[in-house]
Structure 1
Amino acid sequence: MSQAGQSSQSLLRQYGTGIKYVLDRIVAAIALIVLSPVILLVAIAIYIRIGSPIIFTQPRPGKNGVIFTFYKFRTMTDERDAHGNLLPDADRLLPFGEFLRQTSLDELPQLWNVLKGDMSFVGPRPLIVEYLPRYSPEQGKRHDVMPGITGWAQINGRNDISWEDKFKFDVWYVDNWSLWLDLKILLLTMTKVLRKEGITQEGHATCEEFKG
């Protein structure tokens, strides 16, 4: 591609990114209002079934590796062994928490992350801070864009694929991003949620640790 063509493509991408940022904020605000009764009911149910805190918070790296506070509805207990260590995920994930994960209701608080500008509706999922030094330079490209509630890796297997494949899908998304691709991912995400596909990895309550 010529230099002029690359410049034009870059401008179009910047323009599209600006549109995406505005749309994310508007849709998140509307969704928080419309879904507020659902959010309230889920919060009450979690308090009764699991206890407080209702919201799970954790530092996660966002665009360019900037750390932000990530929100989810709590799905696990805080049960610990005799030495004070948290029990394995499988022992702490209650049936109600599993239901929240299967229906993706646990993700609703991330609408606040989108409204704040920490996240987008679509992008690579934000992972834990401890993984940052474990990425290869290629895998690290996933932080070139805003993290998302759903993404290309989620509609291509979610938790039921290897870390290597997840990162390949994330980098492919970064390299091929467009507003049309985001729309496609959102539509396919609805299908995945309804079919309850790829929620867990075989042999794990959620998915195995990424060790680099």
Structure 2
Amino acid sequence: MTGRTYDPLKRAIDLVVSTALLIASAPLQVVVALLVRWNLGSPVLFRQPRPGKDEQVFELVKFRTMLEPDPAQGLVTDEQRLTQFGQFLRSTSLDELPTLLNVVKGDMSLVGPRPLLVRYLDRYSPEQRRRHEVRPGVTGLAQVSGRNALTWEQKFAKDIEYVDRRTFRLDFSILLRTAVNVVRRDGVTASEGGTMPEFAGSEAGQ
């Protein structure tokens, strides 16, 4: 069972697993929310429009990891605004816990290409745009294949490889590798747009 024939089962698995994880992680999310409020202030949640399946825009929800921009305090770039506490949330993937709600709602899947910025939509090559043929994921093939060590073109190649190869076995493998990376705190230093330079468009799309 691959590709489109796998998608209905994939959605059912997403719904059951993400609902269970949301319930199980509720006490931890309360603690994280209080810590975010204490360390970073309000709002506790980071919300941003992201393109999903078929480029339909939805609101991504995560725990906030950055201070608000403040040029007077030298807080302008993502690197300047990312606190040590925020770095800890990212390296442990605790900031991603509210994103399970996006999975329950059907905006996202547990596994798929990571949802990037809306302004990137007109910068993709036709092949790169295929990453939106499936729901975006909390984790994905690119994330367990090097994440920020990969170039944008390499990431997109992994995204398209996932679109073409998606199966239950591949999803299970990606989730298992993600869990190992989180435990090791390996390759999960920051979400896309934080330590990665902005995607300006590939030569293939120009």
The two structures have a TM-score, normalised by structure 2, of: 0.92
- The counterpart of 1:144, out of the listed 133, 153, 157, is 133
- Unpaired stretches in structure 1, ≥5 consecutive residues: 1-8
- The counterpart of 1:159, out of the listed 133, 144, 148, is 148
Residue aligned with 1:52, SS: coil
Shift of 1:14: 3.2
Please identify, of 188-197 and 140-149, the stretch whose mean Cα deviation from structure 2 is larger: 188-197
Tell me the residue number matched to 2:45. Answer: 55
Tell me the residue number matched to 2:163. Answer: 174
Q: 2: CA distance between counterparts of 1:168 and 1:14? A: 20
Q: 2: CA distance between counterparts of 1:30 and 1:193? A: 19
Cα 1:93–1:85 change in 2 (3 A) is: closer
Q: 1: CA distance between counterparts of 2:49 and 2:194? A: 21
Shift of 1:192: 1.2
Q: 2: CA distance between counterparts of 1:176 and 1:20? A: 13
- The counterpart of 1:21, out of the listed 1, 4, 11, is 11
Q: Does 1:36 align with 2:26?
A: yes
Q: 2: CA distance between counterparts of 1:32 and 1:200? A: 23
- The counterpart of 1:199, out of the listed 188, 196, 199, is 188
Q: 2: CA distance between counterparts of 1:167 and 1:205? A: 17
- The counterpart of 1:208, out of the listed 188, 197, 202, is 197
- The counterpart of 1:120, out of the listed 109, 112, 118, is 109
Determine what percentage of the aligned residue pairs are the same residue: 49
Contact 1:124 1:151 in 2 (8 A): yes
Contact 1:160 1:199 in 2 (8 A): no
Tell me the residue number matched to 1:64. Answer: 54
Count of equivalent residues: 199
What amino acid maps onto 2:102 in structure 1? Answer: N
Cα 1:52–1:179 change in 2 (3 A) is: same
Q: 2: CA distance between counterparts of 1:19 and 1:184? A: 16
Tell me the residue number matched to 1:6. Answer: none
Q: 2: CA distance between counterparts of 1:162 and 1:154? A: 12
What amino acid maps onto 1:99 in structure 2? Answer: F
Shift of 1:199: 2.9
Cα 1:199–1:14 change in 2 (3 A) is: closer
Q: 1: CA distance between counterparts of 2:16 and 2:181? A: 24
Note the 1:64-143 alignment, pairs <5 A. Answer: 64-82=54-72, 87-143=76-132
- Unpaired stretches in structure 2, ≥5 consecutive residues: 202-206
Q: 1: CA distance between counterparts of 2:43 and 2:200? A: 29
- Bigger radius of gyration among the two: 1
Shift of 1:194: 1.6
Cα 1:56–1:182 change in 2 (3 A) is: same
Residue aligned with 1:71, SS: strand
Higher relative contact order (CA 8 A, sep 6+): 2
What amino acid maps onto 1:47 in structure 2? Answer: R
What amino acid maps onto 1:198 in structure 2? Answer: G
What amino acid maps onto 1:23 in structure 2? Answer: I
Cα 1:187–1:195 change in 2 (3 A) is: same
Contact 1:46 1:74 in 2 (8 A): yes
